[in-house]
Amino acid sequence: MKIKSKSEKEKESMFLGLITFAMTIAHYDQKRKNDDKMPYAIHPMMVAMNPVTVLNKVLWGLDLLKARTAALLHDVIEDCNEEDLTRSWDYLQQHVGSSGLFGKELDVPEGANRKNRMLVRIINYCLYMCGINHRTGDVGMMTIGDDIEDIIRELTVPKGDHPDGHYKEGDKKARKAWERSYGRMAEMSKLALCITFNDKLYNMRSPMPGRDPTAAMMGYGEYLDNIIFVLSSKYGIAVEGSIADDVMEAIQLHRNS
């Protein structure tokens, strides 16, 4: 593994700071469902930065940077609109500045995936302004922003009818069952699995008031158990011996149900 220079570490830290700023602006008026006084942005921050979960134990280098960025932005596509992303862009332009490469406007053509493309442009702009190469190949080819957007799409639960028929619109029970299923986890990339682990761990530790705590723990146990199994069986990453006691408690509840 290549050891990063001080300059590279500073650039990555500055980039994650800018992405956190952009994400916070995008979610600016949203609150957590379990606490109407808690800014929503607290959740993706902790998903990305929790230092004692699998994200930081099994990833490193560019993979870790991509995963942390995707974790910070993982709910933007699902919960924010184009106006929210435009506001983030405008704040970045106001406080960081425009560039000759990206221009001053969030200029993205109309289309079905316009919001996704807006997010890719924000990510690549932040990389560029922090002195990090945002391209993964030749000019005009894929970018790091595209890679991160791919991960976010893995994490985003389709609204309405599932395109592959796993649930119908309005069938919350079927949608939740698909969300935490082994079949879904088996299709996820290593980075998406690590982010999902951190995401569900945060939610498990911030329970919704009025819900059956045992049933909720069993549901999270199924989620986490499937993630751990796929990380081991598909990617050869063994994490079960180093996870927190409350995770094992939830997994045992699921396995004994």
For the stretch 60-113, pLDDT in tens is 999 999 999 999 999 999 999 999 999 999 999 999 999 989 999 998 988 889
For the stretch 11-45, pLDDT in tens is 999 999 999 999 999 999 999 988 888 999 999 99
Q: What is the pLDDT of residue 4?
A: 66
For residue 239, name the pLDDT band (cuts at 50, 70, 90): confident
Write the Ramachandran bin of 191: left for phi over 0, alpha for psi from -120 to 50, otherwise beta. Answer: alpha
Q: What is the pLDDT of residue 52?
A: 87
pTM: 0.94
Q: Where exactly are the structural domains of the chain?
A: 6-155, 172-255
For residue 169, name the pLDDT band (cuts at 50, 70, 90): very high
For the stretch 185-233, pLDDT in tens is 999 999 999 999 999 999 999 998 888 999 999 999 999 999 999 999 9
143 three-state secondary structure: strand
Q: What is the pLDDT of residue 3?
A: 56
Q: What is the pLDDT of residue 127?
A: 97
Average pLDDT, the chain: 93
Residue 98's nearest CA partner among 58, 134, 128 is 128
CA 256, chain centre distance (Å) = 30
Is the pLDDT confidence value at 244 over 70? Answer: yes
**How many CB atoms are closer than 10 A to CB 192?**
22
Got the DSSP string for 80-114? --HHHHHHHHHHHHHHT--BTTTBSS-----STTH
